[in-house]
Amino acid sequence: MAAAHAQQQPDVLVPAPQAAPPPMRYIPDALRAQLNAARDAKERTHLALAEADARLANAEQHTTAQQYDPAAAELGVYEAIITDSLTYLQGARNDGHTRDLIKLLEQTLYRQSSRIEAMRRNTPPQYAGNVRAAFNHARDTRSTALNAFYSTTVMREPPPDKNKPAPKGPPIEPAKMKPTDKP
């Protein structure tokens, strides 16, 4: 009976391909020191976006060379940089300069999302999950940056200047203007 049972089982078990582990999201110490040494938010944001773009370019090169583990590692650093950049800007002053920098971050993420999607198409299924996760992370970070413009809880417009005189009366519609009121 044991011999019949042994004949029914396959001789060689082929394991199913497993997905690659997710990349670690971290900012290297040298880059962290450069970001912390930036003199203002503008310099820090430009440095972070340039480094994120460089990491994405490295990941694209590794993907083209079919080196998917180093590409995933570069994407992990990329994700950490954009998250850190948005977190820093959200904690900064609530003024027009910060809004401009958040808009710059959003536009950069918009441009980079198509590059990440192109990488995903050229990546085998075992590693495509990591690239898809990077795409989703960039998309979610971009959405958070956009919410800074349209949400009342993230950033607000400055209150109107109290020293500015109020208008003298309600605006007059052009159809109701008297001939003497016309310029």
The pLDDT of residue 171 is 64
Q: Residue type for 163, please?
A: N
Question: Looking at the domain assignment, is residue 132 inside a domain?
Answer: yes
Question: Looking at the domain assignment, is residue 179 inside a domain?
Answer: no
What is the per-residue pLDDT across 109-155, written as a single tens digit (0 to 9) for each?
Answer: 999 999 999 999 999 988 999 999 999 999 999 999 988 766 555 45
CATH of the domain at 63: 1.20.58
The pLDDT of residue 161 is 67
Mind giving me the DSSP string for 126-167?
Answer: HHHHHHHHHHHHHHHHHHHHHHHHH-TTT--PPPPPTTSPPP
35: Cα within 13 Å, side-chain hemisphere: 21
What is the per-residue pLDDT across 49-97, written as a single tens digit (0 to 9) for each?
Answer: 999 999 999 999 999 999 999 999 999 999 999 999 999 998 887 777 8
Question: Looking at the domain assignment, is residue 134 inside a domain?
Answer: yes
Question: Looking at the domain assignment, is residue 118 inside a domain?
Answer: yes
Could you tell me the pTM of the whole model? 0.71
Question: Looking at the domain assignment, is residue 182 inside a domain?
Answer: no
Positive or negative, the CA dihedral 146, 129, 63, 69 is positive
Q: Which domain holds residue 75?
A: 19-150
Please state, rounded to an integer, the average pLDDT across all residues of the chain: 82
Question: Looking at the domain assignment, is residue 81 inside a domain?
Answer: yes
Q: Domain total for the chain?
A: 1
